[in-house]
Chain A
């Protein structure tokens, strides 16, 4: 007997976008309101886990061909690089700056160098969480 998962799969395709958008919102909101790289990364991996629950692993691997271990490595590298850049300006390691930048389309935007650091945290969290879940899911 083949089980029909139509309801789960249809709602998943809709809800994954809501969860992903909310995770990106949480990531960018981290500087002024509750949120940040850690919780945003966890929510992104929650959306991916929802996809894994509704569809089988091969389909997801085809749609999102990421190697999650290298995502974690890239995230760690970004975080370290943001720390190392401070050394070139004669300030201690991991010193961050803050300023207002005139961007095209967006206008005056407050930008801080903690954002790439947070992006590194985000990628590490997504990579590690997905690696753990996929390794557990694969082993019999």
Chain B
């Protein structure tokens, strides 16, 4: 294992952990659910991907072992994390979680959001039956 690849793997893992740190800062600092889920699903995905890629390269060059499980994990996280973010934001919007007060535009507003708790439950019931 050469020194160059050592440094490269170190940089990749460091960048991944830095992105994870950025995610947590975003979760604390951002004002509402939607901006937070934006921070969480985007930078956390890339952070985890970079760390996993670093681990994959490390085992490849240090132990000469190509881990198919890590490749599968990378693909899996890459597909699932954004979908999870999408579903969380959508569930939040449908259950009337307010947008940030400085929001300028709400393109989904024309669909008339449910006002009362009863209407929310009715909508969820339709969802589970559909």
Report which A residues bind B (CB closer than 8 A): 1-3, 5, 7-8, 11, 14-15, 18, 22, 56
Contact = CB atoms under 8 A, between A and B. Distances in A.
A15 B79 contact: yes
Interface string B80-95: 1001001100000010
Contacts of B86: 7
Contacts of B129: 56
B75 A1 contact: no
Interface residues of B, number: 17
Given A11-B83, A15-B80, 10 more contacts: A1-B126, A2-B126, A2-B130, A3-B126, A3-B127, A5-B130, A11-B80, A18-B72, A56-B128, A56-B129
A115 to B, nearest CB: 21
Nearest to B128: A56
B130 A15 contact: no
A7 B72 contact: no
30 contacts: A1-B111, A1-B123, A2-B126, A2-B130, A3-B94, A3-B123, A3-B126, A3-B127, A3-B130, A5-B130, A7-B83, A7-B86, A7-B87, A8-B83, A8-B87, A11-B79, A11-B80, A11-B83, A14-B79, A15-B76, A15-B79, A15-B80, A18-B72, A18-B75, A18-B76, A22-B69, A22-B72, A56-B128, A56-B129, A56-B130
A1 B72 CA distance: 37
Interface in B100-130: 111, 123, 126-130
A119 to B, nearest CB: 22
Interface in B42-88: 69, 72, 75-76, 79-80, 83, 86-87
A123 to B, nearest CB: 24
Contacts of B76: 15, 18
A107 B129 CA distance: 51
Nearest to A26: B69
A5 B87 CA distance: 9
- Lowest 7 A-B CB distances belong to which pairs? A3-B127, A11-B83, A2-B130, A11-B79, A7-B86, A7-B83, A3-B130
